[in-house]
Amino acid sequence: MSTSIRPRSGAAQVAVWEVLKAHVSDQIARGVYPVGEWLPSVRSMSEELGVNRNTVSKVYRALGRDGLVESAQGRGVRVIRKPLSGVEGRATIETAIDRIVREAGMLGLSGEWILGRVGRAIETILAPAPRLAFVECTMPDARKLAADLTTALGVSVTPVDLSDAVADPQQLAGDFDLVTTTFFHYQEVNAALTPFDARVAAIHHTVSHESLGDVTGIPPKSRVVVVGPNDRTIVRFRGVVEDYTDSEVTAYTIDQVDELSAALEKADVAIGVASAVGLLAELAPHIPMITLSFRIEEGSIAELRQYVDRLLQTPRDRLAAV
């Protein structure tokens, strides 16, 4: 992965670790990782986000310096507080402003210079980033694709479970400036959000090159069991396996535990998405397992970048509060 993010038009280039730090901090603030919960291990987060482990370690160290997390030897990294907000956050910022103004005065800088520089900072730094959500039918997949979008777009993208989105579309529309999902779920998400005048955009994602390499490496005439979260998904996954191999394929959803368990007893290979990995490992630890991962096509990323740029140019109520 590149060590820097392709900038939006007119924006300064941002280091990947800084974007990921902002993303994880935002997830802590929103309660995706609540206080007291352990963050994913460096290895797990690295694999989930598709970044170098050193990058994740750097993000965790930076969050530790900010006082949001703490490391426990042999256990990992735990969230200890949310980012500052409300009265506490305001007091901290006011103290910092007073100190900076005093130091500027000691350097002989004029009040006009200070005000001008603060104004430019508000325009380029403090203007709130667009609030983006990514909706998917399982949270592991939602987190992975939301992290990919965070890296590609340079703004934090919050993962949302499809069932939650459909259950309370008004809340979702109120919390976010743009809701994204896959073409696979677009009609369902768009229908739920249309009454609330929400912006909805779809992305096209495909099975990753690495996953296709794993699938094509399955020995000829193997008995393959495919597992997914719902019927539509397993039809798609089954098609991938049948297109690239001559295997004997059966497919099950994750709630068909009894049928799945029986099929795995006779299987040579099991294939599933991230949300099915734990179940497959429990039911059939004795057979090889392939985890299907996905990538977002560049055309979808370019289109979302245009959406984000337009949102950055659109005045929002909370801009006035900065």
CATH number at residue 67: 1.10.10.10
Q: Are both 213 and 286 inside the same structural domain? A: yes
Report whether 285 contacts 270 (CB < 8 A).
no
pLDDT given at position 245: 93
Is the whole model's pTM more than 0.85, yes or no?
A: no
pLDDT given at position 319: 39
pLDDT given at position 172: 92
Q: Are both 27 and 55 inside the same structural domain? A: yes
Q: Distance between CA 231 and CA 254 in Å, rounded? A: 10
Q: Distance between CA 142 and CA 138 in Å, rounded? A: 6
- CB burial class (10 A; 0-12, 13-18, 19+) of residue 40? middle
Quote the domain boundaries for residue 41.
Answer: 1-83
pLDDT given at position 147: 85
CATH number at residue 236: 3.40.50.11420
Q: Distance between CA 105 and CA 124 in Å, rounded? A: 24
Q: Are both 164 and 310 inside the same structural domain? A: yes
Whose tokens are 């007291």? That residue is 36
Q: Are both 195 and 322 inside the same structural domain? A: yes
Q: Are both 177 and 230 inside the same structural domain? A: no
CATH number at residue 303: 3.40.50.2300
pLDDT given at position 94: 82
Q: Are both 181 and 235 inside the same structural domain? A: no
Whose tokens are 């919390």? That residue is 175
Phi, psi of 271, deg, nearest 5: -130, 130
Q: Are both 240 and 307 inside the same structural domain? A: no
Considering only CA atoms, which of 227, 36, 30, 241 is closest in space to residue 138? 227
Q: Are both 105 and 157 inside the same structural domain? A: no
Whose tokens are 């777009």? That residue is 153
Q: Are both 235 and 182 inside the same structural domain? A: no
Q: Are both 314 and 168 inside the same structural domain? A: yes
Q: Are both 79 and 92 inside the same structural domain? A: no
Encode the chain (322 residues) as per-residue pLDDT tens digits. Answer: 332 333 334 344 456 787 788 888 888 887 888 888 899 888 888 877 777 888 888 899 889 888 899 888 778 899 998 886 656 567 777 888 888 888 888 888 888 888 888 877 666 555 567 889 999 988 878 888 888 888 888 788 889 999 999 999 999 998 898 999 999 899 999 999 999 988 999 999 888 888 899 999 999 999 999 998 888 888 888 999 999 999 999 999 988 999 999 999 999 999 988 778 788 888 988 899 898 888 899 899 999 988 888 876 654 444 343 3
Angle between the N-to-C axes of helices 53-65 and 42-49, in degrees from 0 to 180, rounded to the nearest 10: 120
Total domains in the chain come to: 4
pLDDT given at position 125: 57
Q: Are both 177 and 40 inside the same structural domain? A: no
Q: Distance between CA 26 and CA 124 in Å, rounded? A: 19
136: left (phi over 0), alpha (psi -120 to 50) or beta: beta
State which of 24, 58, 83 marks the end of a domain.
Answer: 83
State which of 102, 126, 150 marks the end of a domain.
Answer: 126
